[in-house]
A = this chain, B = another copy of it.
Amino acid sequence: MRAPEELRDAVEVYLGALPLAPELGRLEEALRYALESGGKRIRPVLCLAVAEAAGGSVEETLPAAAAVELVHTFSLVHDDLPALDDDAERRGRPSAHVAFGEGVALLAGDALLAEAFRLVLTYEDSRLARELVTATLGMIGGQHRDITGDDADLAELHRLKTGQLFSASVGLGLAAAGVPEENQSPWRAFGDELGLLFQIVDDILDEDGFAVRLGAEGARQLADEAAERARERLRAIAADTSVLRELIDGLAVRTG
Contact = CB atoms under 8 A, between A and B. Distances in A.
Interface of A: 21, 23-27, 74, 78, 81-84, 97, 101-107, 109-111, 113-115, 117-118, 121, 124, 126, 129-130, 133-134, 136-138, 140-145, 147-148, 150, 160, 164
Contact of A141 (B24, B124, B137, B148): B24
B103 A83 contact: yes
A126 B125 CA distance: 9
B25 A78 contact: no
A106 B81 contact: yes
Contacts of A24: 137, 140-141, 144
Contacts of A111: 137, 140-141
Interface of A is mostly: helix
A232 to B, nearest CB: 27
A25 B150 contact: yes
A164 B24 CA distance: 13
A129 to B, nearest CB: 6
A102 B102 CA distance: 12
Nearest to A125: B126
Given A118-B130, A137-B21, A138-B21, A84 B113 contact: no
Nearest to A139: B23
A164 B23 CA distance: 10
13 contacts: A21-B138, A23-B138, A23-B164, A82-B102, A103-B147, A104-B144, A107-B143, A109-B110, A113-B114, A114-B137, A115-B137, A118-B130, A118-B137
Given A81-B106, A114-B137, A118-B137, 12 more contacts: A21-B137, A23-B142, A24-B137, A26-B144, A78-B106, A83-B105, A104-B148, A107-B140, A107-B144, A113-B113, A114-B140, A129-B129
Contacts of A110: 74, 78, 109-110, 113, 140
A251 B18 CA distance: 40
A248 B163 CA distance: 48
